[in-house]
């Protein structure tokens, strides 16, 4: 397959442009997503042109499938049996779509310690997706989520260096969104999506949280079985609050349960789904909150229907013990975990006692506070299969969410060639990392705010602009239901 110099230059120029901060959300049908990859694969597979043509012919012969007709399969009704190897195009599209919702938490978060808004979301709810240049998201954000930063997680919480700040005790950790009418028709149901923020550049939080398991009931989650345990740091982050802070005077748990209850009651006659997504530490919060919603029975409507609860997890750690896994799965919580084989985070905590050791050993270790088990179904990707990525042992690169979405785009099944299907821009991989090979001419860490966010005032002086007051908590209706 011959590639002209002009084509290479055109690609290089395109790669150097600052792309939309999260990429565009994936579409809702599989036919549109399987595209020709010649402009992306370059001459890495010159000898495979004939094979690629045959693959294109086979793909073209497949009938188009609409998500509205298959959403329950994509949501894990059959535990994604037969959809992962080979990779189902519609499922790939859905995983990337929800992965971009999680990525939006990073792109919207203010990490700058020199900003008085450090630790908050940079955008208001009504213009969130628009501000991130996410095209046609089809969701409206109904609530922001906050957690108290009084917990000893210095590598998760961010604080400003300035004395005058938006909050001394809170950090923004995600959002709740609901699909609009048009999108709900394409999805086949009204989707309540919850995206949790994780960690971006540092992995020291693993050591912060490698503590011990404790019963979920000890943190007011109404589980009748005291042997159901989760990692204590995850539980504290999910359930702690600060009465003196307007943003976290209610715990993340109270915020999420209140909003889910409100939204389910707002659409009593519609088909509904609850979809959690999160990366890294956000994945643990997604799993914990999905279990909590099912344990409390909030996903059961007034007429007795059960709203399906699903988690799309990216690079997430283990959350609880074997009994936690069994309890959550018994309640119908579906979890699909997307992991990179080279990433250390999914291997923690529980280095020695986990789901990979013999069953008899796990039974003997069941009472230990360091015996963990993953929940749900795993989709393992491998960065070494992508011709775009550097051969590096950098753990931050292996853990990066944009890298996971890139790997999803090119994954077709075990033993299959890496061929970009949706053709997400590979430049997004280097948005907050140095992972793309240098000959693609995409600078590392290219996503930056212009002038560090400073603007000129009317007098010509540089200053940090004021932001609109962030949403805090709660109205009278929510206050009455916060102890649900």
> Is 399 considered catalytic here?
yes
**By C-alpha distance, which of 299, 358, 367 is closest to 333?**
299
User: 255 near 473, Cβ under 8 Å?
Assistant: yes
> Is 251 considered catalytic here?
no
Q: How far apart are CA 384 and CA 432, in angstroms?
A: 19
Query: Phi and psi of 462, rounded to 5°?
Result: -80, 135
Could you say which of 279, 399, 406, 473 is catalytic? 399
Structure tokens at 193: 């999506």
Could you say which of 280, 294, 373, 386 is catalytic? 280
Structure tokens at 415: 């033993």
Structure tokens at 338: 């997307």
Could you say which of 343, 400, 409, 425 is catalytic? 343
Burial of 46 (0-12, 13-18, 19+ CB in 10 A): exposed
Q: How far apart are CA 346 and CA 340, in angstroms?
A: 8
Structure tokens at 243: 């009465």
User: 198 near 280, Cβ under 8 Å?
Assistant: yes
> Is 356 considered catalytic here?
no
Catalytic residues: 280, 343, 399
């Amino acid at each position: 397959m011959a590639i002209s110099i002009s084509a290479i230059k055109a690609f290089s120029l395109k790669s150097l442009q600052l792309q939309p901060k999260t990429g565009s959300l994936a579409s809702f049908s599989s036919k549109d997503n399987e595209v020709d990859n010649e402009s992306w694969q370059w001459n890495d597979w010159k000898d495979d042109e004939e094979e690629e043509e045959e693959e294109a012919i086979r793909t073209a012969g497949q009938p188009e499938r609409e998500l509205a007709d298959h959403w329950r399969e994509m949501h894990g009704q059959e535990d994604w049996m037969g959809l992962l190897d080979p990779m189902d195009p519609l499922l790939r599209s859905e995983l990337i779509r929800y992965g971009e919702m999680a990525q939006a938490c990073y792109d919207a978060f203010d990490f700058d310690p020199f900003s008085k808004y450090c630790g908050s979301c940079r955008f208001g709810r009504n213009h969130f997706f628009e501000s991130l240049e996410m095209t046609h998201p089809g969701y409206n954000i109904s609530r922001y989520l906050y957690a108290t930063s009084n917990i000893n997680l210095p590598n998760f919480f961010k604080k400003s260096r300035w004395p005058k700040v938006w909050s001394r005790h809170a950090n923004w950790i995600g959002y709740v969104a609901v699909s609009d009418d048009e999108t709900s028709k394409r999805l086949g149901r009204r989707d309540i999506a919850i995206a949790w923020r994780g960690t971006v550049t540092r992995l020291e939080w693993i050591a912060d949280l490698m503590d011990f398991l404790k019963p979920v009931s000890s943190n007011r989650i109404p589980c009748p079985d005291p042997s159901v345990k989760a990692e204590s740091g995850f539980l504290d982050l999910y359930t702690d609050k600060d009465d003196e802070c307007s943003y976290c005077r209610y715990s993340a748990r109270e915020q999420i349960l209140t909003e889910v209850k409100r939204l389910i009651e707002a659409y009593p006659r519609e088909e509904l789904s609850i979809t959690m997504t999160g990366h890294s530490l956000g994945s643990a919060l997604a799993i914990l909150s999905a279990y909590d919603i099912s344990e409390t029975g909030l996903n059961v409507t007034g007429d007795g229907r059960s709203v399906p609860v699903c988690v799309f997890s990216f690079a997430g750690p283990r959350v609880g013990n074997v009994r936690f896994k069994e309890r959550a799965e018994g309640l119908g919580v579906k979890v699909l975990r997307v992991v990179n084989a080279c990433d250390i985070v999914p291997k923690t905590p529980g280095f020695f006692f986990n789901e990979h050791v013999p069953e008899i050993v796990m039974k003997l270790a069941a009472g230990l506070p360091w015996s963990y088990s993953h929940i749900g179904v795993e989709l393992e990707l491998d960065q070494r299969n992508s011709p775009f990525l550097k051969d590096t042992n950098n753990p931050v690169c292996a853990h990066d969410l944009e890298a996971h979405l890139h790997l999803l785009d090119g994954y077709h099944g075990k033993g299959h060639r890496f061929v970009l299907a949706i053709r997400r821009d590979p430049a997004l991989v280097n948005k907050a990392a140095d992972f793309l090979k240098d000959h693609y001419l995409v600078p590392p860490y290219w996503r930056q705010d212009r002038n560090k966010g400073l603007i000129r005032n009317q007098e010509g002086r540089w200053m940090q602009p004021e932001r609109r007051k962030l949403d805090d908590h709660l109205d009278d209706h929510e206050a009455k239901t916060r102890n649900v």
